[in-house]
Amino acid sequence: MRFVVLLGCALLAQQAAAQSPLANAAGQPINGISCDAQEGQRIHIHQRLLIIDRGKTVAIPPNVGQPANVRCIYWLHTHTPDGIIHVEAPKDRSFTLGDFFSVWGQPLSRTMAASARARKGQKLKVWVDGKAYSGDPATIALTAHADIVIQAGPPYPKVKLFTNWGNL
């Protein structure tokens, strides 16, 4: 009986670690997304994420999805502090903005995105490719060159559609 209880506790701890921000630091799989020795080549697409909190841009740091203490890189990651998300996976599957936030270890809902919070009784304003998005932002599909803007306000500054994809 004691062995079963200990085994059950160990499995619960493992599940909790895989879903916590600390899982990113440890290189554990998050939402079925592995942290591998190198970037995957089967899928290679990019998106731009911009979060604006009461008129001020929220930083999306470089090296999200690249744990400092483990030598690996998640299939969803950043390299630079410009909000460009890199999806570089070794197998075909779809990814969502919620997956990226899970790897980042930040909250995402209709009322919060990282440190940006909607005012009490309000929701965030979300735009995908310049069009208003009214659903749960965690379900936004990460498609090639998607331009995702999340705003907590007011103010709600008008944001130009991102088109500078260069070689991405």
Is 71 inside any structural domain? yes
**65 neighbors 110 (Cβ within 8 angstroms):** no
Does pTM surpass 0.75?
yes
Tokens of 11: 């499995």
Is 77 inside any structural domain? yes
Is 63 inside any structural domain? yes
Encode the chain (168 residues) as per-residue pLDDT tens digits: 443 333 333 333 333 333 345 556 679 999 999 999 999 999 999 999 999 999 999 999 999 999 998 999 999 999 999 999 999 999 999 999 999 999 999 999 999 999 999 999 999 999 999 999 999 999 999 999 999 999 999 999 999 999 999 988
Q: How far apart are CA 121 and CA 129, in angstroms?
A: 26
Is 165 inside any structural domain? no
**137 neighbors 97 (Cβ within 8 angstroms):** yes
DSSP element (H, E) containing 25:
helix 21-26
Contacts of 15 by beta carbon, 8 Å cutoff, 6+ apart = none
Is 168 inside any structural domain? no
What's the pLDDT at 92?
94
What's the pLDDT at 21?
52
Q: Burial-class residue 138 by CB neighbours within 10 Å (0-12, 13-18, 19+).
A: middle
**DSSP single-letter state for residue 94:** -
* Domain that includes residue 30, residue range: 2-152
Is 164 inside any structural domain? no
Q: How far apart are CA 101 and CA 107, in angstroms?
A: 7
What's the pLDDT at 26?
78
What's the pLDDT at 161?
94
Q: What is the number of structural domains in the chain?
A: 1
